Structure 1
Amino acid sequence: MQIANDVEIKGAYKRYGTNVVLNGINLDVKQGELLTLLGPSGCGKTTTLNLIAGFLEADEGAVYIKGRNVTKIPPYKRDLGMVFQTYSLFPHMTVYENLNFGLKLRKVANPEKDKRIARALELVKMAGLEKRYPRELSGGQRQRVAIARALVVEPELLLLDEPLSNLDAKLRHELRAEIKRLQKEIGVTTIFVTHDQEEALSLSDRVVVMNQGKIEQISTPTSIYKHPETEFVFQFIGKSNSFEGKVAAVDQRKVTVEMNDGITYVDRGNVMGGCSDCKIGEIVKLYIRPEKVRIFSTDEEPEPLWDLHKAKISQLNYLGTTWEVEVQLLNQSIQILTPQYDANWCPGSEVLVGWNPSDLMMIKK
């Protein structure tokens, strides 16, 4: 059974003078999913959210919610709940009054209002604080009230615009888990905007990676991280090492790439954009995640699957559960994340580094 789309954006363009903020994007949001718009500042993610909310109108294209064309319909007629980065609570109103505001506008009856407010506050673990004013709450509590205020009107769609960016790291982590729990418990279709990749990967059913007004990739968090479809996605999501080489040979299974200190191999399926037109002598760029690079002492005997290269340690950083080892390889710095540690490692030590061909990504320059 195919899941219906709650939101559809078709061919949306948004321009400010000569600046193209959205460049013909198409996007479907499935019923009940939590979809995150992720990308650097200025990529168009908040503009996309504002088109859905009705705060902006596309120069071209259309927005559909529950199959209805809402492109020309104002925000207050779209049945949305929205949470902003700055909380946007009324400072002169209590928690109860802040939640009651939207219900009054919708003319919800008094007994039902009390029931909804109590339920919303219970969901965000703020029950018993109805009489407090925003100034009497912590930042995390204010953001919980803002989420409760968006949920209390029982919207068809919940929109969150960088809601955790003003909070400290520990609180962000806690509220991130709360938002995920709430969304699954209520089942409301949710669109979340962030520039924080960890936030996006941990929260989402699907992630939309945006860059310069276009969508680079839409996929699950696992697929976005492990199988990036473009160079931008690989570089933007997580950490990556890169170096150049030259195609030396191509066969049915792998591409052989010549580097300054020997050769390495890349699985054909890991060539971004496909391998059908790989040419001998072509300059290419190779990418690999720091956690996929292995480091060995020179007297070890690594597995035969590893491509091995000589390197020299330049820096060691202890991160608690892992070590970050920076080595000089091919006249550049390469970062390695490893849970293992050798007491003989120190700046200046000679080591071997290696990787499995299935962990390298290649893009033609």
Structure 2
Amino acid sequence: MLNNQYDVDIQGVSMSYGKSTVLDNIDLQIKQGELLTLLGPSGCGKSTTLNIIAGFLQPDQGELLIKGKKMNNVPSYKRDLGMVFQAYSLFPHMTVYDNLAFGLKLRKIDKKVIAEKIDRALGLVRMKGLEDRYPRELSGGQRQRVAIARALVVEPTLLLLDEPLSNLDAKLRVELRAEIKRMQKDVGVTTVFVTHDQDEALSMSDRIVVMNGGKIEQIGTPTEIYQKPATEFVYRFIGNSNCIEGTVASIENELFNIEINKGWKIQLPKESIIGQVQIGVNDVVRLYIRPENILIGNDAKGKNHEITHLAKIVQMNYLGAAWEIEVLVEGEYLLKITCP
């Protein structure tokens, strides 16, 4: 039985193309009113998952429920969805108004109600006054806003966004992702967003599903995904990190004494371990350190149990909001540091 707090329930879904497994027995529940992002590298299964929800693909096994109703083999047009694609997919021969009215006319809605719905949708995407323009007369960002408005105007149960910002320039992407988040909260529609861009996922999502090789690596809030990764893949994929190999020299009171080459030693608590793995003495381990968690200064004395080492600055890159500094530690380990 589907919990009534979920709009979508994916149960044991698998799918293959020939001998290639695209989705491997995944389970996923999407809550009412949330913006959930499917995030991962190319080929991880995120777009396939979205297309199964949309009804464009049918899984080889498993069940899909929307609002408690089984949707396997139910055609897309009967699923009450709004879909926004990467390529806008607007009708070039229709004005903005007619593009938005198209789906409403198919539903045989009264003309006056259509006008009211379009006016509200254009207000949400801040496109009022451009109703009579054709897609060719709009910028890329404006066309994407119209595509979103067209999906919202029919008041769908689910809004599905398939990498809708990937064709836009960097500044416009930042502006539009903030607009999408605002619109989604204003309307309250359950939204599934597909992207390979981790900045988009972290800034927009209520929850993130990190996928890899057809499996779900972790589901959590942006803070949980970034600060408490469940697997090594998640740590490496989300954000930047430095990686150093070492050997477990000893374990005392759940403290791991890690020995790096040339006598560099680090002591870490048990909760620092990523994933459900057993680590013993003499095991080779990888240490991941976020660039923003390394401090740089000319004081060789650490505070509050900080680990200090002499390092040489080899390169400085100005990123606008911060500096990325590369340092060489012990003449061997090149680490990246991010600081204001």
TM over 0.5: yes
- Give yes or no for contact 1:207–1:224 (8 Å, CA) kept in 2: yes
Which residue number in structure 2 is paired with residue 343 of structure 1? none
**Within 5 Å, which residues of 2 pair with 1:17-56?**
17-56=18-57
Deviation at 1:318, TM superposition (A): 2.2
Amino acid at match of 2:235: F
TM-score by length of 1: 0.90
Distance 2:165 2:264 in 1: 47
Q: Deviations over 1:216-254 (max 9, x none)?
A: 000000010000010100000000000111111223342
Distance 2:58 2:177 in 1: 30
Q: Quick check: 1:230 aligned with 2:231?
A: yes
Q: Quick check: 1:309 aligned with 2:295?
A: no
Q: Quick check: 1:262 aligned with 2:252?
A: no
**Within 5 Å, which residues of 2 pair with 1:59-78?**
59-78=60-79
Over the aligned positions, Cα root-mean-square deviation in angstroms equals: 1.3
Q: Deviations over 1:69-97 (max 9, x none)?
A: 01110000000000000000000000011
Distance 1:11 1:160 in 2: 23
- Give yes or no for contact 1:53–1:75 (8 Å, CA) kept in 2: yes
Deviation at 1:98, TM superposition (A): 0.4
TM-score by length of 2: 0.96
Question: Are residues 300 and 255 of structure 1, via their aligned partners in 2, closer, same or farther at CA, if it must alter by over 3 Å?
Answer: closer
- Give yes or no for contact 2:300–2:310 (8 Å, CA) kept in 1: no
Which residue number in structure 2 is paired with residue 128 of structure 1? 129
**Within 5 Å, which residues of 2 pair with 1:290-305?**
290-297=291-298, 299-305=299-305
Q: Deviations over 1:42-71 (max 9, x none)?
A: 111000000000000001111110000011
**Within 5 Å, which residues of 2 pair with 1:58-137?**
58-137=59-138
Which residue number in structure 1 is paired with residue 169 of structure 2? 168
Distance 2:154 2:89 in 1: 16
Q: Deviations over 1:302-335 (max 9, x none)?
A: 3141112232221112223322110123523210
Distance 1:288 1:184 in 2: 35
Q: Quick check: 1:156 aligned with 2:157?
A: yes
Distance 1:123 1:269 in 2: 45
Aligned length: 336
- Give yes or no for contact 1:239–1:290 (8 Å, CA) kept in 2: yes
Distance 1:322 1:166 in 2: 26
Amino acid at match of 1:38: L
Deviation at 1:106, TM superposition (A): 1.2
Amino acid at match of 1:306: E
Which of 263, 270, 273 pairs up with 1:271?
273
Unpaired runs of at least 5, structure 2: none
User: Is the deviation greater in 301-310 or in 122-131?
Assistant: 301-310
Unpaired runs of at least 5, structure 1: 340-365
Distance 2:256 2:273 in 1: 9
- Give yes or no for contact 2:4–2:67 (8 Å, CA) kept in 1: no
Q: Deviations over 1:244-273 (max 9, x none)?
A: 111112233421101113210112111013
